[in-house]
Amino acid sequence: MAAALLLAFALYPQSPHPAPYDVIVVGAGAGGVAASLQAARMGSRVALIEDTDWIGGQMSSAGVSTMDEGRFFAANPTGVYREFLLRATTVYAARAKSVATCYWSQSSRCFEPLQVERTLRAMLDEQPAIDLYPLTTVSALLFSGAAVSGVRLSSGRELGARVTIDATETGDLLALAGAEHYAGNGTGSTPGPCIQDITYAAVIQRYDSLPAGLRFTEPPPGYAQARDEFRRTLAPLPTNDPTRYPVSFQVHNQYRGLPDLGRPGSYTSLDPALITKTGVNWVNDFPTYSPYATDPLRRFLLPATFLTNPAIRDDLTCQAKLKTLNLLYYIQDPEGLNQPDWSVSQDFAGSQAQRYCSIIPQSMKSIEALLPLRPYIRESRRIMAVHDLTINEIRRIPGPDGVPRGKSLPSALALGDYFVDLHNCDSTPDLEARFGETSSGTGGFDGPFQVPFESFIPKRLDGFLAAEKNLGISRLANGALRLQPAVMSTGQAAGAIAAIAVSSRLQPRQVNPLLVQQALTASGSAISLYAYSDVPFESPYWADVQLASARGLMLGYSFRNFGIAGPITRREAALVLTRLLNLSTQPAQGVFTDVPISDPAAPAIEAIYRRQITQGCSNTPLNFCPSATLSREQLATFLARSLHLPFATAAFADVPVNSPLSPPIAAIASRLIMQPCGPSLFCPGAPALRGDLARSLVRALSILNSL
């Protein structure tokens, strides 16, 4: 034991740099906040570094505060994201306001950016182990040997840490770390020709009396050309069909409609005439809203050098901002939408992080000052990971129950659920031949898919994790994983990996994924492709069912029904134990008289027989009784033999000491793999229930992983 501890300390030396933290998270966006909260709650001291004075990234400081959920997250929010929703929704409920104000839906969740920021900040403020560094940038990473050991701030101050997490919107730390990474369909050293469009979003509201500084007095530069593009999409025409262009201003406002705490009353997205506040994030994609390119013979694409060259990024960001100002002018313009009472809201007033653009005329600075603090960036640099997640794993294929879901990945730590949504740069030549991906992979079903442990870990770099859109993922996978709920899920997972690495004195790649899964499910973060209505979040079985189903050990009767209180048959137990132990199977030989070789479970039943886990239910003839209900004493015996546990003495009033089943029952009970059914009672003859089996499997996994 002592030698093992010495080896762990040698592999993971203490940081030699000043002011050591356990974990440094760079980027206080959705993923960075979730990573910081999870790591701090697991006992780590965390530094959270952010280059603006807002936290929340795309869901607040970028102005995209309408939650982009697929049907799975809409019905089953998870982890830190679920906590955020409960808190933010409470703010509006206290004012009798609906948050179903966007996406033409009565079940949407939409918030004002300022309330998103305040909610997330309140969550951070409850964690004294998190030190927030706002308006702070990182100029370099520090190293101890070949492992990242902290950061150097632009001020020159150095902060040490055992794990550093890149949660930036663009993957900036990947370049500083020298980590191998992708940029577009190229690499960091040779970026591809393009990435997805950005959008400089805005939040606008209707004023009863528009302040003079918020009314345009002249058109922005380039307005004539921009107006031609906008007219194809937005026009002063009465239409209620969001799928037919041009749409009306009211239809536009329904898309990203926001509740308005500045006014009394409430509305939903189905009340377009009542909406007084909305996000502007639709037709102002930059370089162009692709269905309406000004010149159909020319492709307008955002170069991947946007990610890798700071000067190009600054220039294109200002051009995107100018395009949004042109759209705001078009909204007010009598020759445009003729909505003179609408202009930018006050959500971003007073921020010290606003970066002004020289191409914006001086007459518009008061409007520019109220735009979000950063553009909505859909695509980041991405690490070359131990495993890069691709379309083959996230493609949602309807199962026997008709529900689309991705491929089951046993080391899953996070979930996404959005369809594959690429904004431009989506033709086959723009995608990644290295992953065999083509434009046929865009679109498709929404539904749950998993993100495995290996996609957070760089191929070779230690002391470092990705947490956001910079994971080891393909461009198509990024198109489904870049949304707010998903990046909060991946961020929370990265925080858990970091905290366990710190507490175990291991490098992140050496962490056992099972420990991370257990920490995440204990924290209320889902990892399973299934959401069972009979195992709600509040159920004492929720975490165990999540892990058992995520690992593919045990699934429910259907997508919605696990059958938590249902009995287990001996056939089902054989299948589950074969998966638990990863037993090799072979074509059935007809060992048991009552298990024909045509029975799909026959190979598994014979596998546990060869492993001496079962001796059948009778010897003459040799029967297994596959359809019989498994009793609790039989389950205890199966598990004790599977785990090679030393037998013990039972202490249950209903299990005689001289019973041959007493030792295995005692062995299982003493290790809490199965629980009593009452005070000093085991109920050996009672049916083993599916919920109890799921709980036992998770505890058995822990024992197997410690062997």
**CB atoms inside a 10 Å sphere around CB 132:** 20
CB–CB of 463/16 below 8 Å? no
Label the pairing between strands 285-286 and 412-416. unpaired
pLDDT digits over 151-198, tens only? 999 999 999 999 999 999 999 999 999 999 999 999 999 999 999 999
Residue 168 CB burial class (10 angstroms; 0-12, 13-18, ≥19):
buried
Identity of the residue numbered 23:
V
To which residue do tokens 């991947």 refer? 304
- Whether the predicted pLDDT of 383 surpasses 70: yes
* The pLDDT of residue 179: 96
408-417, 577-586, 650-659: which range is least confident on average? 650-659
**DSSP class of 508:** G
- In 3D, which of 300, 66, 89, 326 has the Cα closest to residue 198? 300
E strand residue ranges, 390-489 = 397-398, 404-405, 412-416, 449-452, 464-466
Grouping H, G, I as helix, E, B as strand and the rest as coil, residue 493 is helix
**What would the two tokens of residue 146 be?**
């070949």
pLDDT digits over 627-651, tens only? 999 999 999 999 999 999 887 776 7
- In 3D, which of 397, 404, 421, 439 has the Cα closest to residue 477? 421
CB–CB of 11/507 below 8 Å? yes
pLDDT digits over 521-551, tens only? 999 999 999 999 999 999 999 999 999 999 9
Give percent above pLDDT 70 in the chain. 95
* The pLDDT of residue 13: 41
Mean pLDDT of all residues in 312-341: 97
Please determine, looking at this structure, whether the domain spanning 15-55+125-190+378-522 carries the CATH number 3.50.50.60.
yes
* The pLDDT of residue 240: 66
Dihedral sign, CA of 114, 119, 125, 129?
Answer: negative
* The pLDDT of residue 11: 40
**CB atoms inside a 10 Å sphere around CB 349:** 11
Side-chain half-sphere CA neighbours of 677 within 13 A: 18
* The pLDDT of residue 559: 85
To which residue do tokens 């033409």 refer? 104
* The pLDDT of residue 638: 96
pLDDT digits over 92-146, tens only? 999 999 999 999 999 999 999 999 999 999 999 999 999 999 999 999 999 999 9
**What would the two tokens of residue 432 be?**
């990644």
Identity of the residue numbered 11:
L
Mean pLDDT of the chain: 94
Dmax (CA) for the chain in angstroms is 97
Give the phi and the psi of residue 573 in degrees, each rounded to 5.
-65, -40
E strand residue ranges, 184-276 = 186-187, 198-199, 202-206
Side-chain half-sphere CA neighbours of 91 within 13 A: 22
CB–CB of 32/57 below 8 Å? yes
- In 3D, which of 635, 692, 691, 631 has the Cα closest to residue 667? 635
Give percent above pLDDT 90 in the chain. 89
* The pLDDT of residue 15: 45
Q: Show Cβ contacts of residue 602 under 8 Å, excluding neighbours closer than 6 positions.
A: 588, 590, 595, 596
- 279 pLDDT band, cuts 50/70/90, is very high
22-31, 136-145, 281-290, 440-449: which range is least confident on average? 281-290
CB–CB of 325/331 below 8 Å? no
What Cα–Cα distance (Å) separates residue 237 from each residue in 223, 255, 357?
21, 17, 34
Q: Show Cβ contacts of residue 313 under 8 Å, excluding neighbours closer than 6 positions.
A: 170, 306, 307
- In 3D, which of 629, 676, 626 has the Cα closest to residue 655? 676
- 705 pLDDT band, cuts 50/70/90, is confident
Q: In 420-451, which positions are buried (b, 16+ CB within 10 angstroms) versus exposed (e)?
A: bbbbbbbeeebbbeebebeeebbebbbbbbbb
**CB atoms inside a 10 Å sphere around CB 145:** 8
Higher pLDDT pick, 458 / 558: 458
Grouping H, G, I as helix, E, B as strand and the rest as coil, residue 23 is strand
Q: What is the DSSP string of 363-403?
A: GGHHHHTTS-SS-B-----EE-BSS-B-HHHH--EE-TTS-
Grouping H, G, I as helix, E, B as strand and the rest as coil, residue 325 is helix
- Whether the predicted pLDDT of 654 surpasses 80: yes
d(CA 669, CA 410): 27
What Cα–Cα distance (Å) separates residue 370 from each residue in 343, 363, 364, 576?
10, 14, 10, 58
| Residue 215 Cα to chain centre, angstroms | 40
- In 3D, which of 346, 329, 420 has the Cα closest to residue 378? 420
**What would the two tokens of residue 123 be?**
């969550």
To which residue do tokens 């709920």 refer? 485
pLDDT digits over 68-98, tens only? 999 999 999 999 999 999 999 999 999 999 9
Q: Show Cβ contacts of residue 677 under 8 Å, excluding neighbours closer than 6 positions.
A: 632, 683, 686
Give the phi and the psi of residue 10 in degrees, each rounded to 5.
-70, -40
Domain boundaries, the chain: 15-55+125-190+378-522, 198-234+283-368, 542-706
pLDDT digits over 330-359, tens only? 999 999 999 999 999 999 999 999 999 999
* The pLDDT of residue 8: 36
pLDDT digits over 553-606, tens only? 999 998 889 999 999 999 999 999 999 999 999 999 999 999 999 999 999 999
d(CA 467, CA 481): 11
